[in-house]
Every structure is written in C-alpha cells, then in structure tokens.
Structure 1
Amino acid sequence: MSLKPDSHRFCVAPMMEWTDRHCRTFLRLISARAFLYTEMVTADAVLHGDRVRVLGFNAAEHPVGLQLGGSDPARLAEAARIGAEWGYDEINLNIGCPSDRVQSGRFGACLMAEPKLVADCVKAMADAVEVPVTVKCRIGIDDQDTEESLDRFVDTVADAGCMMFIVHARKAWLDGLSPKENRDVPPLDYDRVHRLKTRRSDLAIVINGGLGSLPHAAPHLVHVDGVMLGRAAYADPYLLAAVDQTLYGEAEAPLTRLEVLDRFIDYVGGELDRGVRLNAMTRHVLGLFHGQPRARAFRRHIAENAHLPGAGIEVLEQARDIVSGAAPETRTAENRSAA
C-alpha cells in the first residue's frame, strides 16, 4: 500500500521503555497529525508473547506504526501480518538499534551490512500485509563508506518494495560505543540524508537524529519528506502543540497544557480501573509544563507520590492544582506521616 502524502511530515521516534501506549495516548492529545510509533517489539515477542500487552493500543492513537525487530523473513512476515490485523497503520523494521543485545540476536543496526537479507525481510513483510512496510536505519555502521554503503543499502531494500526510509543521520559504531553514546557521539551528517533524497526522489525520506525542537527540525522539510524527533519530544512534549498548524496547515488551535492534562486525567482514571499502576502512566507527563512556572513543583509532586501504595487519580489532580496556581505545593505522603 502506498504512503499518504504528508503522512510522515512529523513523527515521534520509537523509543524503548518510553513510547508505550500510555505515552502515545498522551502525545495524541497534543497533536492529532503527528505520526507515532510503538517501542521496538521483536518478532518473537509478537509470535509467542502476550499480544494484548505487546500490541494493545487505543484507537485514538492513529496514525500509529508498529516497529518490529528481527532478521528472519518468515517470522517477521507473520509478526507483520498479526500487527496489521491488530490495526496498525504501518509496519516499520528496525535497522538502527546498536545495542549488544540486539546485535547478538542479529537484528538492528548490524543488518546494514546485510542489505540483501533486509530486502528479503521487507519483501516477505510487504507480501503479508496491505499496510506500508518501512525501514528505520542509520547512514552507516563502523568503517562503512556512507556514500556507497547507504546508497547500496537503500537501493537494494527499495527494490524489495520499501518506499520509505527513516534515516538517523549518524553512523552506529557497533564496537566501542554504548547505545547511549551512539545517540550522541558519532557526528551528525544531515547533508548525507539530503543527498539521499535528491538521488532517490521517488522514495519518502524522513530525517532523524539530534533534532531538538520544531524550529530546528522544520527547515529540513525543504530537503526531505519528514522529520522525526525522539528525546526532545519526550522531554518537552508540548512542542507537538505547534505541529498541526505549522506543518499541516490545520486551523484548529491546540489544547492548552491544562486541557491536555485534564483529558489525560480522564484517561488515567479509566486505566486505573483496569488495574494499571498510576506511575506507569504519570511518568510520561512530567515534561508537559517544561519551561513553565511551577513546573518543578509539578514534577516533584508526581515523582514523590505516584509510586506510593494506593496512589490514585488525586495525585494528578493535586499536581494540576499546583501547576495552575490553584493550590500551594503539597507535602508528600512521607512528609505528612512524619509531621
């Protein structure tokens, strides 16, 4: 299936232990148009794990893509088929993660050295589903020449049916750097991604890596089809409030921070009734008031109270009162018991 025009003009990166369904529901309250992704899920986890836990999501999250990890074409095809049946709008293959655990399983960034295998995986997945199959990769790994190797990789995988590549504009050094260092140490080369789009104008190219704000990211749209933000969007999620109007031309004004919080409180109440722990959800909202008055008190109140036994919706309600100025900062449960 072909990609919709402008569908990926702004994306939030798949981030392990961050972009779970609660995070995605929260971000969707801020932007209706941003394309969201799950955390990376291995094909085996889809095939053999608890699918409600692994694949479950809210209809309100659309558009949302499932990111898979793996290197076995048959297993990836079956996992993709299951993901499409669950309602995901896209299946994305991770060819960018540099962790030792991922390398030992022969998936992630190490597969940039095996473009034919990646092409086989993509073809098997594309044959199994009717939604787009896309790839997220680096500009290269280790001592690869990024001009020749990236062109060869993209051409080979595109011939198998992949029409969109999300390119992290850094190499991944698989030997000598940790996953955290691989997000910061290798130098960024945005021009290399721009040249890829110029050479393969028939493909949708989304640029990722080191984009710290919407004003920083938006100028790249002169050169590529979309931008993807990761850590910046998580640390300061309200930056998404400008996305729909600025990048998609929507007329409707975004919700205010307090309106976002109120709607998320409603969501949290329902999830608490289903047995979800409060701090599994509240951790995603800590940056909502980034740079605003009383933001530190807001974060502190949630951090000190949401994990306590019996903590409920009142923690967020109290935090809302604190950040809105409707109530002074409250003492934690431990302080109250010590008083």
Structure 2
Amino acid sequence: MTPSAETTLEAARLSVAPMMDWTDRHCRFFHRQLTARTLLYTEMVTAPALVRGGATHLLEFNAAEHPVAVQLGGSEPQELAEAARMAEAAGYAEVNLNIGCPSDRVKSGCFGAVLMKSPGLVADCLTAMREAVSVPVTAKCRIGVDEQEPREVLPAFLAMIERTGVTRVTIHARKAWLQGLSPKENREVPPLDYPLVHQMRAEFPGLHISINGGISSLEEAQEHLGTGVDGVMIGRAAYHDPGLLLFADEQVFGEAPSGKTRRDVVDAMRPYIAAHLEAGGKLAQITRHMLGLFQGRPGARAWRRILSEQAHREDAGLEVLERALDALPETSLAA
C-alpha cells in the first residue's frame, strides 16, 4: 500500500539522498532494515528511459521500502508527466524532479543543475507533473550554478517553484559549476552556504524546505532542524556509514529505542539475499551496499575485506556473509 502524502511529509524530516549507482533497490531495502521512518529515494531515473525506452524495470522496488520516492531526470514537460504517471502506477509515494545533478550525463540531456538557468522550463515541467499525478511532486535543486549569485537567484527560483503549487524542495547548499569541476568535485569544492538555506526557510513559510550537502551525522541533522528547516537529507555519510541510520527513528523522529543491533540487521537481510540468489542474482549486488555497516567498530576492516574479496565469486552465497560475521567480535554485533 502506498503511504499517504502526510506520511511522506513526516518522513521527509530525514531522508537519504538519491545517489547514482548507489541507492538502488537493494540499497534501499537494506537501509529500510535500519530505519522505519526515514524517507528513501531512488537513483535518478531519466524520463526518456521510461517513456521512450520502455525501461520500466528501473521502477522496480519492494513494498517494504516504503516510504520511498522516485527521482526523475528530464526537461520535456509532457515526457516528465508521463514518467510521473508511470512512477505513481508503480506505487511510489512521491515524484521528485532533479534540478541539482551536475554530471556530464545530465548536462548533455539538458536536465539536472543546468535547469536552474531555465526557470520557466522548470515551471512547465513541475506543472505538467503535478497535473499528471495525485502523489506529491517535489524538487531538488542547488543554490545556484556557475556565475549565478545565489542570494539573488535562489529566492526567485523558489518563488517560481511555489507558484507551480509544489510545496516541498530540497536544497543542496552548494553551487554547481557545470564547467571545470567533476561531479565529485561539485560535491566537495564549492563552499557550503547553510545560512542561505536557513534564510530561505524563513522567507518562504509556505514551503517545506530540506537541507542537503556535507551533513555527516544525526547530530548535525538535529542542529539544522533546530534552525527551523523542515527536513535534512543525508547522502554519502548514510551510504558509507549506514549504521547511523540505526538511531534515526529514535533521535530524529522521537521513537522509543528499538534495541535493534547490527546483527539483527544482517539477520533481516538473509531471506532477501536468499531470494535474490534463488532468482539468479549475485551476492555482491546486495552486499556491496552493506560494506560500511560496521564502520568505526572493531572488526570492520575484516568485514569489508571478506565481502569485497569473496562476494563477487560466481558461486558466492550466504556462507560468505557468515564468514564476514565470524570475523567480527561480539561487541560489534551487539550494538
């Protein structure tokens, strides 16, 4: 059953960012074993791939992943509308438009961060998407691109978004430089401007604004929430140290402590992994997302090494997971 818009809105208090090659359906299922409340996002799925290419397999997900949102990439309003309809039919609880990715792939397709230079086109895209579906349509953008002055551009951009009827925006608090910086550098080199995003929340009380970029812990997330922003999106930190999500429901959503351990999480993954292997899948397709589960704990290096070296073998099965667990001291498994 698809969650209600209210449930998705509540979940957006904390979300895991859409990350290409990382937040696939196996990653999201794994993250859901760590947190029941956090909003999860797909990798960016391009509208042309769905509408023209018929690549509906890109929308596959497990109902246990809910609340889960799909992020679409594109710049043709009617094509995005059709892709949004397909995503809603597939059961997604939210459809998000990518206006923030700076990679060469999205620049060549005229979508992602480059769209911040075409606010009228973005308005057309968001309007078409909203008219096509009943689930929430949201946007994820940067504070600006290239030579744009964020303090001038961002308020005008958010005002445009608000006029379309879209009420939820996630802002990556960095500029994107479309020439001269690689996608990796665009995640690290441009300076963060958190105060500007905090200011936008005050200036646009009708918008639900989440902040993204460089946030590496739940403590930092809580600090941002304390400034008045409505939500926090965590990216690479949640992927490389997924154990932090184990405490999200308690620390961010106010739930009672679950008592769940990292061993419990691994145990919860066993049936899912077994079914994937039975269907002809490979162990590494799932365990590559689990490498950081014991980050910072005794035995973490051995856990990563065993999974990295052995899960890629053609005949690798659950026994590899067992060997990796055996390399961990009980103190790491019990917390």
TM value normalised by structure 1 = 0.93
* Counterpart residue number, 1:82: 86
Q: Could you list the per-position Cα deviations for residues 6-50 of structure 1 after superposition, in whole angstroms to 9, with x for gaps in the alignment?
A: 321100000000000000000000000010000001001122445
Superposition deviation, residue 276 in structure 1: 1.2
* Counterpart residue number, 2:205: 201
Residues of 2 paired with 1:271 and 1:316: CA distance?
14
Residues of 2 paired with 1:94 and 1:246: CA distance?
29
Asked whether 1:95 is paired with 2:99, we answer: yes
Paired letter, 1:216: E
Q: Could you list the per-position Cα deviations for residues 248-283 of structure 1 after superposition, in whole angstroms to 9, with x for gaps in the alignment?
A: 111251520001011112210111111111111110
Asked whether 1:118 is paired with 2:106, we answer: no
* Counterpart residue number, 1:221: 225
Paired letter, 1:81: R
Q: Could you list the per-position Cα deviations for residues 149-185 of structure 1 after superposition, in whole angstroms to 9, with x for gaps in the alignment?
A: 1111111121112101100000001111111100000
Q: Could you list the per-position Cα deviations for residues 65-101 of structure 1 after superposition, in whole angstroms to 9, with x for gaps in the alignment?
A: 0000000000000000000000000000000011122
Asked whether 1:150 is paired with 2:165, we answer: no
Number of equivalent positions = 326
SS of residue in 1 equivalent to 2:199:
helix
Paired letter, 2:272: Y
Q: Which stretch shows the higher mean deviation, 158-167 or 47-56?
A: 47-56
* Counterpart residue number, 1:329: none
Equivalent pair of 2:50/2:56 in contact (CA under 8 Å):
no
* Counterpart residue number, 2:250: 245
Paired letter, 2:221: A
Change (3 A) 1:229 1:305: same
Equivalent pair of 1:207/1:227 in contact (CA under 8 Å):
yes
1:296 to 292, 295, 301: 301
Equivalent pair of 1:138/1:167 in contact (CA under 8 Å):
yes
Residues of 1 paired with 2:259 and 2:158: CA distance?
37
Residues of 2 paired with 1:141 and 1:22: CA distance?
32
SS of residue in 1 equivalent to 2:192:
coil
* Counterpart residue number, 1:67: 71
SS of residue in 2 equivalent to 1:284:
coil
Change (3 A) 1:87 1:157: same
Asked whether 1:266 is paired with 2:265, we answer: no
Higher gyration radius (CA): 1
Which runs of at least 4 in structure 1 moved beyond 6 Å after TM superposition?
Answer: none
Residues of 2 paired with 1:320 and 1:262: CA distance?
10
Change (3 A) 1:118 1:172: same
SS of residue in 1 equivalent to 2:327:
helix
Paired letter, 1:243: A
Q: Give unmatched runs, 5+ long, in structure 2.
A: none
Residues of 1 paired with 2:69 and 2:53: CA distance?
19
Q: Could you list the per-position Cα deviations for residues 79-128 of structure 1 after superposition, in whole angstroms to 9, with x for gaps in the alignment?
A: 00000000000000000011122111100000001111101000100000
* Counterpart residue number, 2:320: 315
Paired letter, 1:140: G
2:163 to 155, 159, 173: 159
Matches within 5 A, 1:5-84: 5-49=9-53, 51-84=55-88
Superposition deviation, residue 52 in structure 1: 4.9
Equivalent pair of 1:14/1:39 in contact (CA under 8 Å):
yes
Equivalent pair of 1:6/1:225 in contact (CA under 8 Å):
no
Equivalent pair of 2:95/2:137 in contact (CA under 8 Å):
yes
Q: Which stretch shows the higher mean deviation, 36-45 or 242-251?
A: 242-251
Equivalent pair of 1:70/1:106 in contact (CA under 8 Å):
yes
Paired letter, 1:304: E
Residues of 2 paired with 1:125 and 1:166: CA distance?
17
Residues of 2 paired with 1:291 and 1:262: CA distance?
20
Asked whether 1:306 is paired with 2:311, we answer: yes
* Counterpart residue number, 2:196: 192
Equivalent pair of 2:5/2:93 in contact (CA under 8 Å):
no
Equivalent pair of 2:218/2:251 in contact (CA under 8 Å):
no
Superposition deviation, residue 3 in structure 1: 4.8
Equivalent pair of 1:305/1:311 in contact (CA under 8 Å):
yes
TM value normalised by structure 2 = 0.94
Asked whether 1:212 is paired with 2:216, we answer: yes
Change (3 A) 1:218 1:128: same
Asked whether 1:232 is paired with 2:211, we answer: no
